[in-house]
Amino acid sequence: MNKLLAEFIGTFWLVLGGCGSAALAAAFPEASNTLGIGFVGVSFAFGLTVLTMAYTVGPISGGHFNPAVTFGLWAGGRFASKDIAGYVIAQVLGAIAASAILFLIVSGKAGFTGVGGFASNGFGDLSPGKFSMMSALITEVVMTAAFLFIIMGATHKDTPAGFAPIAIGLALTLIHLISIPVTNTSVNPARSTGVALFAQTAALSQLWLFWVAPIVGGILGAVLFRVVKSDKA
């Protein structure tokens, strides 16, 4: 139960910090972005949420905070199949809880008329750069594969201990810097699910891609690392 609670809290923080920065601070006070943090700020916010929680609750649960990471670590021989369902449920619930709190915060703004896209992920008309479904699919698979490849390496027994959260947090930052214009960056089905439930767009109809692509990518990245490293652990 402690592990599941840690995953809930870690994913909650990821969505609150990452999606919260996108929904509240990316374009502030308005689209002219006079004081807003923009894509770069949002990218670092996502990376910092993972870095901080990996150090905080990583020793308890392993610090997945992401179904794609859970499936990837399973494929990489680092996680038991019997624990997958519990982790994924905890992660999704954490993401939904954070999204609900963000909704309450956003709806308290003067002149509130709706949450709009609410930092949700999408392709086509829902892509920040209007990228196609194929572009979104390729992006999410490749970026998540790279993420799991880095996670597998950073947490390997031969890697110096204590630095993994830094490498993983910076990797997530880089992934966002690359792919926000394409899909608004998911690489995390829980993150996508939480905000999609509140978005005033067709985000829910496109949610399937942000489950399938990250999980496939995560598995591919972990398997690739095992091939490169000949990892048996």
Q: Considering the chain, what is the average pLDDT of its residues? A: 93
Domain ranges of the chain: 2-229
Q: Phi and psi (nearest 5°) for 125?
A: -65, -20
What is the value of pTM for the model shown? 0.94
End-to-end CA distance of the chain: 25
Q: What is the pLDDT of residue 196?
A: 96
- The answer to whether residue 186 scores a pLDDT higher than 90 is yes
Assign 31 a pLDDT band (cuts: 50, 70, 90).
low
Q: What is the pLDDT of residue 28?
A: 75
pLDDT, tens digit (0-9, with 9 covering 90-100), for 105-140: 998 887 777 788 899 999 999 999 999 999 999 999
Q: What is the pLDDT of residue 229?
A: 84
Q: Which of 50, 55, 40, 39 is nearest to 17 (CA)?
A: 50
Q: What is the pLDDT of residue 233?
A: 47
Pairwise CA distance, residues 47 & 13, whole Å = 11
Q: Which of 99, 65, 91, 89 is nearest to 195 (CA)?
A: 99
Q: What is the pLDDT of residue 81?
A: 96
For the stretch 49-62, what's the b/e string if a residue is b when 16 or more beta carbons lie within 10 angstroms of its beta carbon? bbbbbbeebbeebb
Q: What percent of the chain lies above the pLDDT cut of 70? A: 96
- The answer to whether residue 194 scores a pLDDT higher than 60 is yes
- The answer to whether residue 155 scores a pLDDT higher than 90 is yes
Pairwise CA distance, residues 10 & 92, whole Å = 11
- Domain at 2-229, CATH class: mainly alpha
Q: Phi and psi (nearest 5°) for 201?
A: -135, -170
Which DSSP state fits 204?
G
Assign 26 a pLDDT band (cuts: 50, 70, 90).
confident
